[in-house]
């Protein structure tokens, strides 16, 4: 579990905080006054159907979309107007729901691109070994063009690219979408391991409530661009049904 204060409502060391964030596309607002926080080493789930505003929210956190109101506070700094390039440099990483690999490059070259900002060759080599240890299939297929791999394997490459960058905040958009349960479990095991050993903070966006509750510490539920509620995993698991939330 992430580090919490005695009343269990907020992490004592907050990495990311959204304060009444509103955002959308052009003049169309699709996210309204969203407030949430993620502590150091905490895995936070954001649950909701397609169209609930989950993906739009994290694209705004990363700086791909401009905020239309409110604030994004990261590492205690207001980064609301900071672009994605600088946010990535400061430790944000986003793995989108679609496959994201450089199709014509080998698995190894994809991973080395992910670690391109790290000029310490020994640290980069150690990180590559960690990625190979977490996803053995990537070492086995290191010379294969990433675009010729299965969907699940390409998703592992995407995770490897992100992890090579030594992220502090990892945002995962629908990691269970279109993947075999065994692959999803492997990815979740890796995320939980890094949260526990490296203090990695995670924002996990999911429609699959059952999958998400296996890994997260705390959840927000979004509907129609707004946060409906915030609960602990125990509170969510105690519910008879999740349907009324969506």
Q: Which residue has the tokens 């509750």?
A: 213
Q: Binning pLDDT at 50, 70 and 90, where does residue 7 land? A: very low
Q: Where in the chain is the domain with CATH 3.40.50.300?
A: 1-91+168-246
Is the per-residue pLDDT at 245 higher than 70? yes
Residue 115 has pLDDT above 50, yes or no: yes
Using the structure block, give the residue that is written with the tokens 């990261």.
Answer: 74
pLDDT score, position 218:
96
Q: In this structure, are residues 66 and 23 in contact, taking their beta carbons and an 8 Å threshold?
A: yes
Name, in order, each residue with C-beta under 8 angstroms of 150's C-beta and a sequence gap of 6 or more: none
Asked if 91 and 168 touch (Cβ cutoff 8 Å), the reply is: yes
pLDDT digits 0-9 by tens, 174-195: 988 777 788 788 888 888 989 9
- Report, as an integer, the average pLDDT of 53-80: 97
**How confident is the model at residue 6, as a pLDDT?**
36
> Can you tell me the distance from the alpha carbon of 100 to that of 29, in angstroms, rounded to the nearest whole number?
27
Taking each helix axis from N to C end, the angle separating 181-198 and 151-164, rounded to the nearest 10 degrees, works out to 10
8-52 pLDDT, tens digit per residue, is 444 459 999 999 999 999 989 999 999 999 999 999 999 999 899
157 within 8 A of 104, measured Cβ to Cβ: no
For the domain made up of 1-91+168-246, the CATH class stated in words is alpha beta
For 63-73, what is each residue's pLDDT tens digit? 999 999 999 99
Task: Answer for the pair 191, 134: CB distance below 8 angstroms, yes or no.
Answer: no
Rounded to 5°, angle at Cα 158 from 31 and 141: 165
Q: What percent of the chain has pLDDT over 70?
A: 94
Tell me the per-residue pLDDT of 221-238, one tens digit each, with 9 for 90 and over.
999 999 999 999 999 888
- Residues 96 and 93: their CA atoms lie apart, in Å, by 10
Residue 114 clears pLDDT 60, i.e. is over it: yes
Of 244 and 80, the one with more pLDDT = 80
Residue 92's pLDDT band, with cuts at 50, 70 and 90, is very high
Structure tokens at 159: 């995770």
This prediction has a pTM of 0.86
Mean pLDDT over the full length of the chain: 89
pLDDT in tens, 131-168: 998 889 999 999 999 999 998 889 889 989 999 989 99
CB atoms inside a 10 Å sphere around CB 191? 22
What pLDDT is attached to residue 9? 40
């Amino acid at each position: 579990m992430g580090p919490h204060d005695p009343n269990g409502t907020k992490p004592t060391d907050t990495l990311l905080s959204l304060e009444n964030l509103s955002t959308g596309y052009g003049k169309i607002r699709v996210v309204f006054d969203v407030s949430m926080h993620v502590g150091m080493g905490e895995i936070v789930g954001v649950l909701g159907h397609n169209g609930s505003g989950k993906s739009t929210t994290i694209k705004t956190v990363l700086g791909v979309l401009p905020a239309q109101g409110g604030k994004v506070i990261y590492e205690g700094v207001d980064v609301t107007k900071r672009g994605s390039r600088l946010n990535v440099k400061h430790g944000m990483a986003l793995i989108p729901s679609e496959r994201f690999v450089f199709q014509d490059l080998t698995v190894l070259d994809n991973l080395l691109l992910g670690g391109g900002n790290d000029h310490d060759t020994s640290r980069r080599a150690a990180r590559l070994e960690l990625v190979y240890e977490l996803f053995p299939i990537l070492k086995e297929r290191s010379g294969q063009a990433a675009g010729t791999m299965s969907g699940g394997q390409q998703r592992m490459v995407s995770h490897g690219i992100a992890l090579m960058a030594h992220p502090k905040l990892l945002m995962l958009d629908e990691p269970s979408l279109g993947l075999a349960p065994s692959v999803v479990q492997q990815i979740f095991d890796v995320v939980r391991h890094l949260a526990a050993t490296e203090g990695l903070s995670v924002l996990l966006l999911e429609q699959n409530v059952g999958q998400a509750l296996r890994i997260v510490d705390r959840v927000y539920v979004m509907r129609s661009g707004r946060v409906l509620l915030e609960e602990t995993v125990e509170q969510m698991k105690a519910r008879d049904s999740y349907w009324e939330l969506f």
